[in-house]
Amino acid sequence: MLENEKIKNIRTQLGLTQQEMADCIGVSKQYLSKVEKGHTDLSKEKIVKLCSNYNVSLDWLLLDKGEIFLSDPDDEFSGEVLAKEVEDVFKFDVAVKLYSLFVNEAFYMIKKQYPQAQVDNIVEAARQLFDVDSSFYESIDKFQMDLNEFKNKGRKYILFKERILIAYNRVCKDKEFENKLNEQKRC
């Protein structure tokens, strides 16, 4: 079930009108209608408000884990912990988008330089480079800034091209070395 469908499901299970839920989480009825139709998303603050006001499991809403409603609101997360978990989910989402851009750009650059390149080697090179780069991302703002910069192919783009080609060559050499070791073991 998609997030927008889940939000509508919550509202209907609680027997609320769109206006009642909208008022409770601080949006207009029209905005909530757009959310339920999948035309827009709720902000992380509104998701936290929805979950804490209606005792909804954040894990269920965002990750499809567990039950829709928490058993006892006092036994579960405080608003601060819930907000932190929502931020972590959004941070992960931005990181996945950035990784996707890494892979797409790596594929384009490596295939241009090495037309016979294997996809698994390209993905591994992108993963290794992303692991190195992402260790410096300390906040969602930095992720978002780098995602936008990467999309706009700013000053780091040329450096990325050099680094991804080096990473690809390293992956190929590592796999070549591994294959030689496996051949020696067979003999």
Start-to-end Cα distance in the chain: 53
| pLDDT score of 103 more than 50 | yes
The closest of 146, 138, 142 to 102, measured between CA atoms, is 146
Q: What does each C-alpha distance from 65 to 57, 72, 119, 149, 150 come to in angstroms?
A: 9, 17, 32, 34, 32
Residue 75 has a pLDDT of 45
pLDDT per position as a tens digit, 132-154: 655 544 555 565 566 566 666 65
pLDDT per position as a tens digit, 166-186: 888 888 888 887 877 777 777
Mean of the per-residue pLDDT values of the chain: 78
| pLDDT score of 8 more than 90 | yes
